[in-house]
Structure 1
Amino acid sequence: MLSLLISAVASFATTLLLQHFAGFDIWVAIFGGVIVFAGVYFLLLRFIMKKVQVIMDTAQRDIQANRTEKAIKVLQQGYRYAAWQFYLREQINSQIGAIYYLKRDFSKAFEFLQKGFFRNWSSMAMLAICYMHKKQNSKMISTFDKALAGNKKEDMLYNLYAFCLDRIGEREKAIKILEKGLGKVADKEAIQVNLDALKEGKKMKMKQYGDLWYQFHLEKPGALIKKQTRAIQGRRKIVRR
């Protein structure tokens, strides 16, 4: 990373200057070099972050206005700063991949999500689901495992993982994932409900997550509406009798 390189050069130059030209003891010179390294790195990082934040804010406004193609182009401008900050390129890839996924352009989404940031749990889940649709179950599992390694407190991630395992016929593994999640997350209710459902041979219920759930395209909102409509109609028939 350029920011580290510049900071290291500044630190080394300061150490030499203090020791050989100012006559300071070697340990004092080294301490001065460390201070300069930290200061230069902090200032460079802050400068780059401000530039990146402007790009992210602009892209977010475009997304909210449904200008997704423009948002993607804006995000790609952030690549110019990738050499200055660790994992910036991967974070941008995650954002772009998620946009394509939401648009149901799964081939494009897969291209970017593969190169995404593992701490972005939602984009990692999208990648895992892409692998599931491709019948690459082992890669789906390893991707979910990687996502959990960096996001151990996300209750929805455990539920998503279990949902996909159940869908590919691995109900016992799904149960184990939910049991693992119970010991990690603060809000245990959603996990407990689905764990009980799987143990009773029933389907998992994810509607409590609302739009956050539907963005993964594993269930259509319309299907839920139809189900609720049939239930209402059924109650009406009972009343008429």
Structure 2
Amino acid sequence: MLNIVISLVVCLLVHTGLTLYAGVEQWIASIAAVASFMLLYFLLTRFVMKKIGALMEVAQRDIQAGRSEKAVKVLQGGFKYAKWQFYIKGQLNAQIGTILYLKRDFAEAFEYLQKGFVRHWVAMGMLGICYMKRNKSNKMIDTFDKATAANKKEPMLWNLYGFCLDKIGQKDKAIEVMEKGLKKTGGNEALQANLDALKTGKKMKMQAYGDLWYQFHLENQGTLIKQQTKAIQGRRNLVKR
């Protein structure tokens, strides 16, 4: 990454300049060189992350205004900073892939999600689902294994993994994953309830997660319409009161 390269070059120049031209002792020059490296690396990293943060804010406003395509273009503009800082490219790919997935552009979303950042658990979950829908069970499992390893404390991710395993007919593995998730998260009511459901031959209930669940588009349209209708009726009842 360029920020490290530039910082190292400056570090060497400082050390060389102090020892060869200023007659400074080696240990003093070394301390000064390391200090210059750390300071410059910090400043460059901060500068780049501020640029990325600004792009994220603009993209978020576009998403809230229903301008998904514009949000994607804004985030794509951030790829020019990828060569400066580690993980930026993966984070941008994950974010863009998530936006495209939400608008049901699954084919294009898949291209970005494959290159996403593993700690972006929503993007990784979406990628796992993409593999499941493409009948690539091994890829799906590998993706969820990486995601849960990097996001051990996220109950929804363990639930999603178990749900997908059950959906492809691997109920025993789903139970195993859910039990592991309970241990890693330190206990979770939704995880426990769905684990009990699997063990008793019942379906997992994910609707309690609300929009966090519906964003993965694993419910059929009929169910979504019912949920939206209930939400509208609930709001009307609140207004009447």
Q: Structure 1-normalised TM-score?
A: 0.91
Q: CA deviation at 1:51?
A: 1.1
Contact 1:90 1:117 survives alignment (8 Å): yes
The answer to whether structure 1 residue 143 and structure 2 residue 143 are counterparts is yes
The answer to whether structure 1 residue 38 and structure 2 residue 38 are counterparts is yes
CA distance in 1, matches of 2:151, 2:132: 20
Amino-acid identity (%): 60
Residue in structure 2 matched with residue 28 of structure 1 by the alignment: 28
Alignment of 1:21-100 (within 5 A): 21-100=21-100
CA distance in 2, matches of 1:97, 1:8: 34
The answer to whether structure 1 residue 103 and structure 2 residue 103 are counterparts is yes
Unpaired segments ≥5 residues, structure 2: 230-241
CA distance in 1, matches of 2:193, 2:221: 20
Q: CA deviation at 1:187?
A: 5.0
Q: CA deviation at 1:225?
A: 6.3
Superimposed CA distance per residue, residues 119-167 of structure 1 (whole angstroms, 9 cap, x where no aligned partner) = 1010011000000000000000000001111111101000000000000
Q: CA deviation at 1:224?
A: 6.2
Residue in structure 2 matched with residue 113 of structure 1 by the alignment: 113
Give the number of aligned pairs.
Answer: 229
Q: Which runs of 4+ in 1 moved over 4 A?
A: 224-227
Contact 1:214 1:221 survives alignment (8 Å): no
Contact 1:15 1:33 survives alignment (8 Å): yes
Q: Which amino acid aligns with 1:85?
A: Q
Superimposed CA distance per residue, residues 63-111 of structure 1 (whole angstroms, 9 cap, x where no aligned partner) = 0000001111111110111111111111111111111100111101101
Residue in structure 2 matched with residue 234 of structure 1 by the alignment: none
Contact 1:214 1:220 survives alignment (8 Å): no
Q: Structure 2-normalised TM-score?
A: 0.91
CA distance in 2, matches of 1:141, 1:215: 20
State the SS of the aligned residue for 1:115: coil
Q: CA deviation at 1:226?
A: 4.5
Contact 1:59 1:71 survives alignment (8 Å): yes
Q: CA deviation at 1:186?
A: 4.1
CA distance in 2, matches of 1:63, 1:80: 22
Residue in structure 2 matched with residue 163 of structure 1 by the alignment: 163
Q: Relative to structure 2, which stretch is displaced further, 19-28 or 36-45?
A: 19-28
Q: Which amino acid aligns with 1:150?
A: A
Q: Which amino acid aligns with 1:112?
A: Y
Superimposed CA distance per residue, residues 170-229 of structure 1 (whole angstroms, 9 cap, x where no aligned partner) = 0010001111011111451111111111010111011111001000001147416659x9
Q: Which amino acid aligns with 1:79?
A: F
Structure 2 CA distance for partners of 1:82 and 1:226, relative to 1, 3 Å: closer
CA distance in 2, matches of 1:224, 1:115: 30
Q: CA deviation at 1:30?
A: 1.3
State the SS of the aligned residue for 1:183: helix
Residue in structure 2 matched with residue 217 of structure 1 by the alignment: 217
CA distance in 2, matches of 1:185, 1:221: 31
Unpaired segments ≥5 residues, structure 1: 230-241
Q: Which amino acid aligns with 1:40?
A: L
